[in-house]
A and B are shown apart, each in its own frame.
Chain A
Amino acid sequence: MGRERAAAEVFFALGDGTRLSVVTRLGSGGALSATALSQGAKVTRQAIVKHLQVLEGAGLVRHEKRGREVLYALEPERLDDARTFLDGVSASWDRAIERLRAMVEEPEKPRGR
């Protein structure tokens, strides 16, 4: 049960476009401050802080103080939890297979020009 809840938190946390892009930026850019993360984003720094709190709650992100700055970094181990990565790949294949099925099982139409 604990495992499913933990995975559900991860999925919930990543089910939002802004949070996904925060995770992506942290994944490629190392530790960043909320100010840095809000640059180029369409939301305010305050909103970014709230999203970071959700991500931290799901264990996807941790923060540390460096001087006067608070930096946020990704917890890569968390991404491996509950086979989340492979589950994602597997779900992608399922959707692709259903599109393939729809295509090959449909009677062929003559090709128009």
Chain B
Amino acid sequence: MSTTETNTTMTADRIEKRVTLRAPQGRVWRAIADAEEFGRWFGFRLEGTFTPGKVMKGTFERKLDENAIMEAQKSSGITPSKLRVPEGNLTLFTVDRMEPERYFSFRWIPFGIDAEADPEHEPTTLVEFRLEPVAEGTALTIVESGFERVPAHRRARAFRMNSGGWAAQAENLRKYVDGA
């Protein structure tokens, strides 16, 4: 088995992920540029199709993360508890630019899957997907940039939206700290 790791580069303003997927560029493009397919791996049921400038709305599917959190809670010795799951018709992002097979971008409020986030007035980050053919399949680069403009209150609210990440990270950190 060859390496299938995700390479991460982070600065205070930007996160870059590079990964090689063992699938043809056309297949990866469809998974990213087709709203229905995008929603499937992203965990968000989207309505309509991607068009530059279009505001994409849909329903957040939290089930997977909720289980992950419960598991992490159990393994950290915390009594698992139910979570408040955001429901209803929510704005996920605004499509920015599309270049068939090669480039797709959108703007969103990080963890703005939040009924109280005002898409008109809050700073957004830009998320870009770049695809390139390589021998093994497709090299995908995802860059999210513009974090320095995100205000502290949004960062605070982000905790609810990213609770799955926190739980998983907590577990990683616990192992790290315990082993150190």
Q: What's the least CB distance linking A56 to chain B, in Å?
A: 16
Given contacts A8-B176, A100-B41, 13 further A-B contacts (CB under 8 A): A4-B177, A11-B169, A14-B159, A17-B83, A17-B84, A20-B83, A20-B163, A23-B156, A80-B155, A90-B10, A91-B162, A99-B42, A104-B28
Query: Within the assembled complex, what's the spacing in Å between the Cα atoms of A68 and B88?
Result: 40
Decide: A20 near B159, CB < 8 A? Known: A11-B169, A28-B116. Answer: yes
Does A104 lie within 8 Å of B167, measured CB to CB? no
A interface, CB within 8 angstroms of B: 1, 4-5, 7-8, 11-12, 14-18, 20-21, 23-24, 26-28, 74, 76-77, 79-80, 83, 85-97, 99-105, 108
Does B162 lie within 8 Å of A92, measured CB to CB? yes
In the complex, whether B23 has a CB less than 8 A from a CB of chain A is yes
Does A79 lie within 8 Å of B156, measured CB to CB? yes
Decide: A95 near B153, CB < 8 A? Known: A15-B72, A17-B82. Answer: no
Query: Within the assembled complex, what's the spacing in Å between the Cα atoms of A92 and B162?
Result: 7
In the complex, whether B21 has a CB less than 8 A from a CB of chain A is yes
CB neighbours of B78 from chain A (8 A): 15-16
Decide: A89 near B144, CB < 8 A? Known: A4-B180, A23-B159, A28-B157. Answer: yes
Chain B: interface residue total (CB-CB under 8 A): 61
Query: Within the assembled complex, what's the spacing in Å between the Cα atoms of A20 and B150?
Result: 20
In the complex, whether B67 has a CB less than 8 A from a CB of chain A is no
Does A103 lie within 8 Å of B37, measured CB to CB? yes
CB neighbours of A83 from chain B (8 A): 10, 12
Identity of the chain B residue whose Cβ is nearest the Cβ of A15 in the assembled complex:
B170
Query: Within the assembled complex, what's the spacing in Å between the Cα atoms of A99 and B32?
Result: 12
CB neighbours of A24 from chain B (8 A): 156-157, 159-160
Interface string of B134-170 (1 = CB under 8 A from A): 0000001010100100101101111110111111111
CB neighbours of A1 from chain B (8 A): 180
CB neighbours of B116 from chain A (8 A): 28
Decide: A21 near B160, CB < 8 A? Known: A4-B176, A80-B152, A104-B28. Answer: yes
Does A104 lie within 8 Å of B156, measured CB to CB? no
Does B19 lie within 8 Å of A89, measured CB to CB? no
Does B83 lie within 8 Å of A7, measured CB to CB? no
Decide: A105 near B23, CB < 8 A? Known: A21-B160, A28-B116. Answer: yes
Identity of the chain B residue whose Cβ is nearest the Cβ of A42 in the assembled complex:
B82
Query: Within the assembled complex, what's the spacing in Å between the Cα atoms of A94 and B144?
Result: 13
CB neighbours of B12 from chain A (8 A): 83, 86
CB neighbours of B76 from chain A (8 A): 12, 15
Interfacial residues of chain B within 70-110, with CB under 8 A of chain A in the complex = 72-73, 76, 78-84, 110
Q: What's the least CB distance linking B66 to chain A, in Å?
A: 9
Query: Within the assembled complex, what's the spacing in Å between the Cα atoms of A4 and B28?
Result: 37
